[in-house]
Amino acid sequence: MKQIHAYKYRFTPTDEQKQTLARTFGCVRFISNWALRKKTDAFYNEHQRLYYKDLSAMLPDLKKQEASAWLSEVSSVPLQQALRHLDKAFLNFFEGRAKYPRFKKKRARQSATYVGTAFTWRNGCLTLAKMREPLAIRWSRLLPEGAIPSSVTITKDSANRYFVSILVEEEMVHLPSNEQVIGADLGLTSFVVLSDGEIVGNPRFFHKDEKRLAKAQRRHARKRKGSKNREKARLKVARLHARIADRRRDFLHKLSTRLIRENQTICVESLQVKNMVKNGTLSKAISDVGWSEFVAQLSYKADWYGRTLVKIDKWYPSSKRCFECGHVLDSLPLEIRHWDCPECGVHHDRDLNAAKNIVAAGQAVLACGEAVRPGRVLSRLGKPQRSRKLSR
């Protein structure tokens, strides 16, 4: 069975390539914003919905207009792909997976997608349309042998770094199966506590660079708008943000890959991070830790390598429930990291006890084929217990 994988690399464009890419990014941004305005106005003013085929039919007339004739200077493929991406963005919005599409900004991340005949792949060299020289790609890892790219996406981030994402189809390789089952309790004090007793600390990447970032942002705010010094200051801020994001992403990838390789089944809680960041006290720490990205990486890597990821119910009282006897406390404040069970007297570490309960609940989900609901766990008083856990 084959899967489509994306391989991302950094590259350094020549001055000529930078100009071509700058024009392409600008045209893609213009088309995306133009199409978004067209779709929005058509819906609210004429009560009609415009789709990709409608906007694509308008594109040739737009290029013929004197005010937008410069759209013909770049390859037409990235422009068509911008319309397809907008169509997909609206589909995600109507199905509840994303917010309403927004207009693209010049200083934000720029991207352009090339498919079909818009690029040339020959002898390991990639040449885009409207370019004479191949891209100087830093091959941090090799593409699969015999792989033929189906599409190429060029991106430029706020720190003026260029990346190329190459989409290829390759055979799915499953890791040898084993019997290891592990539960992971995500938290803030420690990033994750595993049911086998291993504790992975929270690196706090944003916290470490927060003062440097605040200083750079103050300097940026003092510069005159439109000046070269303001652009230099903006670039310093963007590079600090990129440094924080890169370090966090590297940490999450290494940890998620190790857990997938070592264990057949990984059990985690399905946390609602979007609601949890509304907590004014912990919102910055929750945003810094990257729970959602970590679970997302576990999810797609489990599919790639033939592993099983089990998400238990978010209301399951993993911290308040005694792993030994099943007794559930009426309440357990966040500041209490250790507690003794009033029923059996066992001393518990809050995080380790939660991880053991998570792996037990995950095995129950696998056996029963359904979610473990908190209403099935009763305290001594016979009342269902609920637990909103922000920190473990």
pLDDT at 130 over 80: yes
- Tens digit of pLDDT for each residue in 55-86? 999 999 999 999 999 999 999 999 999 999 99
Domain end, chosen from 171, 187, 213, is at 171
Q: Is 370 a catalytic residue?
A: no
What tokens were used for 44? 């609210």
Report the number of distinct structural domains present in the chain. 2
Is there a domain that residue 136 lies in?
yes
Domain that holds residue 80: 2-171
Contact (CB, 8 A) for 106 and 95? no
Could you count the other beta carbons within 10 Å of the beta carbon of residue 168? 19
- Tens digit of pLDDT for each residue in 230-277? 999 999 999 999 999 999 999 999 999 999 999 999 999 888 888 888
Tell me which residue of 106, 117, 52 sits closest to 83, measured CA to CA.
52
Of residues 162 and 318, more confidence is placed in: 162
Domain end, chosen from 130, 150, 171, is at 171
Is there a domain that residue 212 lies in?
no
Is the pTM for the entire model greater than 0.75? yes
Q: Are 286 and 148 members of one domain?
A: no
Give one word for 233, left, alpha or beta, with left for phi > 0 and alpha for psi -120 to 50.
alpha
- Tens digit of pLDDT for each residue in 91-117? 999 999 999 999 999 989 999 999 988
- Tens digit of pLDDT for each residue in 334-349? 888 888 888 888 888 8
Q: Are 165 and 268 members of one domain?
A: no
Is there a domain that residue 230 lies in?
no
Q: Is 133 a catalytic residue?
A: no
Options 41, 66, 73, 269, the catalytic residue = 269
pLDDT computed for residue 370 by the predictor:
54
pLDDT at 391 over 50: no
Is there a domain that residue 54 lies in?
yes
Write down the mean pLDDT value for the chain. Answer: 89
What tokens were used for 216? 């750079």
Q: Are 138 and 196 members of one domain?
A: no
What percent of the chain stands above pLDDT 90?
A: 64
Tell me which residue of 83, 24, 28 sits closest to 56, measured CA to CA.
83
DSSP 45-93: HH-----HHHHHHHHHHHHHSGGGGGGGGS-HHHHHHHHHHHHHHHHHH
Per 3-state DSSP, what percentage of the chain is helix, strand, and coil (rounded to 5)?
Answer: 45, 20, 35
Measured distance CA(167)–CA(5) in Å, rounded = 6
Q: Are 187 and 318 members of one domain?
A: yes
Is there a domain that residue 324 lies in?
yes
Q: Are 190 and 41 members of one domain?
A: no
Is there a domain that residue 359 lies in?
yes
Options 87, 210, 313, 351, the catalytic residue = 351
3-state secondary structure of 200: strand
Domain end, chosen from 171, 189, 221, is at 171
Q: Are 186 and 295 members of one domain?
A: yes
Could you count the other beta carbons within 10 Å of the beta carbon of residue 254? 10
Q: Are 286 and 140 members of one domain?
A: no
Model confidence at 385, pLDDT cuts 50, 70, 90, reads: very low
Q: Are 167 and 191 members of one domain?
A: no
Q: Is 179 a catalytic residue?
A: no
Contact (CB, 8 A) for 314 and 304? no
Options 170, 185, 231, 343, the catalytic residue = 185
Is there a domain that residue 222 lies in?
no
| Rg value, the chain, Cα | 25
Q: Are 64 and 180 members of one domain?
A: no
- Tens digit of pLDDT for each residue in 13-53? 999 999 999 999 999 999 999 999 999 999 999 999 999 99
- Tens digit of pLDDT for each residue in 187-241? 998 999 998 889 999 999 999 999 999 999 999 999 999 999 999 999 999 999 9
What tokens were used for 140? 């941090």
Contact (CB, 8 A) for 376 and 321? no
Contact (CB, 8 A) for 194 and 180? no
Q: Are 148 and 283 members of one domain?
A: no
Q: Are 14 and 160 members of one domain?
A: yes
Q: What's the CA angle centered on 81, arms 75 and 86, to 5 degrees?
A: 140
User: Scanning the structure block, which residue is given the tokens 């790219």?
Assistant: 149
Measured distance CA(119)–CA(208) in Å, rounded = 42
Is there a domain that residue 376 lies in?
yes
3-state secondary structure of 117: helix
Q: Are 38 and 142 members of one domain?
A: yes
